[in-house]
Amino acid sequence: MYRKRNVPGSAESLPAFLDQELSNIEQAQYGPFPFVRLEVVHIPPGRLFDGLVVLADGADWNPGSGAGVYCYRAGAWRFLG
């Protein structure tokens, strides 16, 4: 997870600070994580593709089996639990 740091007060420290921040952002974006956090969605995603995983609220948007985690595969939503 990326957490921003405070910008240094001196202009001389800025290049090294920016280089380190960009490296931290890259690692946070592409590094391995021990978990996945899904946000509850209330409407179907606009762009569908095989392997898309969502957490449906089950009320505003119910892909078939109520609230829960679904995977989009072969043109249909598959309830995972």
36 closest CA partner among 51, 53, 23, 49: 53
72 closest CA partner among 55, 49, 56, 40: 49
pLDDT band at 27 (very low <50, low <70, confident <90, very high): confident
Contacts of 61 (CB under 8 A, 6+ apart): 41, 42, 43, 44
Mean of all residue pLDDT scores within the chain:
94
Q: Tell me the pLDDT tens digit for each residue of 30-50.
A: 878 788 889 999 999 999 999
Do the beta carbons of residue 69 and residue 80 sit within 8 Å?
A: yes
1: pLDDT strictly greater than 80: no
